[in-house]
Amino acid sequence: MKKPQNIITKAAPVLSVAVIVCGWALIGETGLVPAYMLPSPSEVVKAFIEDFPLLMQHSAVTLQEAIYGLFGGTALAFVFAVLMDRFDFLYKALYPILILTQTVPTIAIAPLLVLWMGFSMAPKITLVVITTFFPITVSLLDGFRAVDRDAVNLLRSMGANRVQIFTKLKLPASAESFFSGLKVSASYAVVGAVISEWLGGFEGLGVYMTRVKKAYAFDKMFAVILLVSAVSLLLMAAVALLKRLSMPYKNKK
Amino acid sequence: MGQLSAQNIGVSFDGRQIIKDVSLHLNEGEIVSLLGVSGGGKTTIFNCLAGLLVPDTGKVFSDDTDITGKPGKISYMMQKDLLLPHYTVLDNACLGLLIKGKSKKESRAAAQPLFETFGLAGTEKKYPHQLSGGMRQRVALLRTYLASDGVALLDEPFSALDAITKHTMHTWYLQVMEKIRLSTLFVTHDTEEAVLLSDRVYILGGNPGTITDEIQVTLPGKKEDRDPSDPDFQSFVKLLQQKTAINIT
């Protein structure tokens, strides 16, 4: 038997989304906003179905850029976090630079990257790497630093070396923190890829977006916006799955 | 293996002397308590004995080998159980063996039969958060024993437990020690616990901390039969209280 409280909590998000969609449909039907500016949900769905093969083709490219970038960002984050955790002077030297990379607007570096690297996938992946590695680095560093000093001493008293302390204690203890960083980065990754596609390229959801924008095709515009958030959600769900698989002990009651 | 001794160890931090001229020894199979008030330097002594800290003066010997500043020889158990949440109970127990380079298979085979002895049968595949505080301390002691070469340091291992669990743990502890013969140096600030569990008691006092007294607990019979309400037991508790009280004033 489930408690009624539980059902209400589960139904709440479904309900709120339903209300928003209904309100949106109503605004279109009543003519409060002209249909060419705000297409109704049904028109958006129609546009989505019409362009489905094209959208899938573009999504595949965007998703590919996002995933490659995310892998690159994660790898870079590991290198940074491990070195910064091991050498205090590197922590002090690099931390301000890390912060600085986050204050530079993505929109501003994207065209530069295109100029340097051309219209291929490389500048897009690079931009995703730049936007995703920061949250992962910080969450990993926090994870490493939150490890109990006494636990480190316990392993040392058993004669453990640095590598053993890292693999047996620090790394697994940071998993929780790492995955929360990765989740944030996963959502950044898709958005980063789309933004970089706006500024130059031949394929991807961002390219599709700029094209339909020029054609004033609002229905297609809405369809692609929803698709971008769906792709983001998909990637975040993949991260959640990965977390569950790599931390089996969390699921045991 | 099973003997440990410290000779004239002294440590100071930032110009302040924490412990001075601490000499003690532990014979094979003995349980010896180190009794003193909190902040008296007990943990500093333990860190030296475990090799985590190099004393400014003095040396630490395991049997006849100089192990000053060499971790990995003397096993150490702290007040917190420090079980790793990402390993099963069995793998937590094996931790010391794994770190010493034994294979997973070998370590598990060594640990498995001891689960019965430690009253932990059936918990092997569980994770630490599924166990009660008392059970977790049992796993911690098993891990300490497996990692040891016959000598272990126990730093107030039962002080975080509630009174009832603590009492059960004392009985359990003496029964297990009877079987495994682990030479143990036991830090506590509980005089009754010291009398209940020890063959000998060192009193740590003064500032900087040093060994001010050594008392042989000469109660007749087995340790398991020691009764806190017995007048002889009580007189030992009183004696220890007096000895530690002198150090405070």
- Across the beta sheet with B4-13, the strand order is B16-26, B4-13, B57-62, B65-66
What letter would DSSP give residue B15? T
Tokens of A146: 């939150």
Closest CA to A17 of A237, A217, A226, A184: A226
Closest CA to B138 of B185, B91, B81: B81
Query: Is A154 within 8 Å of B78 when comparing Cβ atoms?
Result: yes
C-alpha atoms less than 13 angstroms from C-alpha of A98 in its C-beta half-sphere: 21
Query: Is B86 within 8 Å of A249 when comparing Cβ atoms?
Result: yes
Selecting from A157, A169, A253 the residue whose C-beta is nearest the C-beta of B52 gives A157
Domain A40-246: top CATH class: mainly alpha
Contact B209, B48 (CB under 8 A): no
Asked if B54 is an interface residue toward chain A (Cβ–Cβ < 8 A), one would say: no
- The C-alpha atoms of residue B225 and residue B46 are separated, in whole angstroms, by 29
ipTM of the complex: 0.87
DSSP bridge pairs for A6: none
- The C-alpha atoms of residue B105 and residue B109 are separated, in whole angstroms, by 6
Find all residues with CB under 8 Å of A104, minimum gap 6, and list them: none
Which superfamily does B1-74+156-249 belong to? P-loop containing nucleotide triphosphate hydrolases (3.40.50.300)
Contact A105, A165 (CB under 8 A): no
B85 chain-A contacts, CB cut-off 8 A:
173, 249
- The C-alpha atoms of residue A48 and residue A229 are separated, in whole angstroms, by 14
Closest CA to B226 of B165, B175, B154, B155: B175
What is the SS3 assignment for B75?
Answer: strand
pLDDT at residue A37 in the model: 79
Contact A185, A73 (CB under 8 A): yes
Determine whether B32 is exposed, middle or buried from the number of CB atoms within 10 Å of its CB (0-12, 13-18, 19+): buried
**Backbone phi, then psi, for B28, in 5-degree steps?**
-60, 130
Contact B12, B200 (CB under 8 A): no
Query: Domain locations in chain A?
Result: 40-246
Mean of pLDDT over chain B: 88
Scan residues 134-153 of B and list those with Cβ closer than 8 Å to A. Answer: 147
DSSP bridge pairs for B25: B5
CB atoms within 10 A of CB A250: 14
- The C-alpha atoms of residue B248 and residue B191 are separated, in whole angstroms, by 15
Across the range B58-74, mean pLDDT stands at 88
Find all residues with CB under 8 Å of A8, minimum gap 6, and list them: none
Tokens of A76: 């870079």
Tokens of A193: 């890829």
Query: Is A159 within 8 Å of B72 when comparing Cβ atoms?
Result: yes
- The C-alpha atoms of residue A123 and residue B43 are separated, in whole angstroms, by 56
User: Which residue of B lies nearest to A165 if distances are taken between CA atoms?
Assistant: B99
B52 chain-A contacts, CB cut-off 8 A:
153, 156-157
Across the range B38-64, mean pLDDT stands at 88
- The C-alpha atoms of residue B193 and residue B161 are separated, in whole angstroms, by 13
Asked if A154 is an interface residue toward chain B (Cβ–Cβ < 8 A), one would say: yes
Closest CA to A129 of A42, A51, A188: A188
The angle, 0 to 180 degrees and rounded to 10, between the axes of the packed helices A218-246 and A175-198 is: 160
Across the range B82-86, mean pLDDT stands at 92
* CATH 3.40.50.300, chain B: domain bounds: 1-74+156-249
- High-pLDDT (> 70) share of chain B, %: 98
Give the gap in angstroms from C-alpha B93 to the nearest C-alpha of chain A: 12
Asked if A252 is an interface residue toward chain B (Cβ–Cβ < 8 A), one would say: yes
Tokens of B21: 């001229």
C-alpha atoms less than 13 angstroms from C-alpha of B72 in its C-beta half-sphere: 9
Q: pLDDT of B151-204, one tens digit each?
A: 999 998 888 888 888 888 998 998 888 888 889 999 988 888 999 999 999 998
Across the range B218-237, mean pLDDT stands at 85
* Confidence label for B207 from pLDDT (cuts 50, 70 and 90): confident
Per-residue pLDDT of chain A (253 residues), as tens digits, is: 556 677 778 888 889 989 998 988 888 778 788 877 788 888 889 999 999 999 999 999 999 999 999 999 999 999 999 999 999 999 999 989 888 888 888 888 888 888 898 888 899 999 999 999 999 999 999 999 999 999 999 999 998 999 999 999 999 999 999 999 999 999 899 999 999 998 878 899 999 999 998 988 888 999 999 999 999 999 999 999 999 998 888 777 6
Query: Is B84 within 8 Å of A169 when comparing Cβ atoms?
Result: yes
- The C-alpha atoms of residue A85 and residue A78 are separated, in whole angstroms, by 10
